[in-house]
Amino acid sequence: MDRNIKFHNLLTKEEGIIVAPGAANALTARLVEEAEFPAVYVTGAGLSNNLLGMADVGLLSFKEVLDQVKYICDAVNIPVIADGDTGFGNAINLVRTVIEFEHAGVSAIQLEDQSTPKKCGHFDGKQIVSVEEMTNKIKAAVDIRKDPNFKIIARTDARATEGIDSAIERAQRYSEAGADILFVEAPQTEDEMKTITKSLPHAPQIANMVEHGLTPLKTNEELETLGYKIVLYANFLNRRAIKAMQDALLSLREDQTTQHMLDEIISMKERNRLTHLKKIKHLEDKYLSIN
């Protein structure tokens, strides 16, 4: 089944929340798929952390992000939700972003109303564009997409700068402009989360679970009860992997060997399976052999 149709069906299913762990590279996305999650989220913060070793403050270029989006889409069959930041500029820049992300195989692109350069939604010091500018961006995204099952996600960061009421009002305007999914970033209490979903009942809502972030951590079941349709665990895997690497490096430095950690790493056989060595060797045998 086409990934976009698959995602549309998940979105319109009456019950069940779509859990989308974040991935910053193709191998992590494949792990998400193998763990039988219904979708994977390409995390902008994760890309910045991994590619540059820098915080998510808008330092990555459009091309750098697009390359990783393509690799991830090629690596999995499940729907890919991709962070398109601000569209990397004004509405004209955003048009190209939407075209290229859809062409890459993305099923939903997230676009936000921060000014350029943007920042992580759980950082201080964010600034947002006018409602009119963002509304025009959403209209441009809707107009330029080819497949109606390719979803436009409108994210607002207005909670941090203008308060929850303004954030909800903005989300409603973005919905009226044609956004398929709404994402009010960084509510700070459960009551705010309830207010968001009750105030915007006609569009699916995204919750972003950021460990040690501004939003209360809830279980998936609790989030569904609150009225959310999608939950992102945008940087959980990246941060968990970093902690594991820190621990492993400390152990290697202290013990001067990896012998005691063999049970804590995947085998060569498992690594080769995950990275499709058998498939590559089959292609070698088929096309590189000389009779």
DSSP designation for 18: E
pLDDT at position 123, please?
A: 74
| Domain 3-241 = CATH 3.20.20.60 | yes
Report which of 78, 68, 137, 71 is spatially closest to residue 107, judged by C-alpha positions. 78
Q: Dihedral of the CA atoms 167, 42, 125, 172 (nearest 10)?
A: -10
pLDDT at position 117, please?
A: 80
pLDDT at position 218, please?
A: 97
Domain edges within the chain:
3-241
| 245: its two tokens | 């690497």
pLDDT at position 1, please?
A: 67
Q: How far does the chain reach from its first CA to its final CA, in angstroms?
A: 39
pLDDT at position 119, please?
A: 72
Helices (H), the chain: 3-12, 26-34, 44-52, 62-75, 91-104, 131-144, 158-162, 164-176, 190-199, 220-226, 236-255, 268-274, 277-287
Report which of 59, 154, 138 is spatially closest to residue 94, judged by C-alpha positions. 138
Q: How many alpha carbons fall within 13 Å on the CB side of residue 213?
A: 23
pLDDT at position 121, please?
A: 67
Full-model pTM? 0.94
pLDDT at position 129, please?
A: 94
DSSP letter string over 184-206?
A: E----SHHHHHHHHHH-TTS-BE
| 233: its two tokens | 């665990």
Which residue's entry shows tokens 């961006």?
A: 137
pLDDT at position 126, please?
A: 81
| Residue ranges for the chain with pLDDT beneath 50 | none
Q: How many alpha carbons fall within 13 Å on the CB side of residue 264?
A: 12
Are residues 235 and 213 in contact, defined by beta-carbon separation less than 8 angstroms?
no
Which residue's entry shows tokens 């609790």?
A: 222
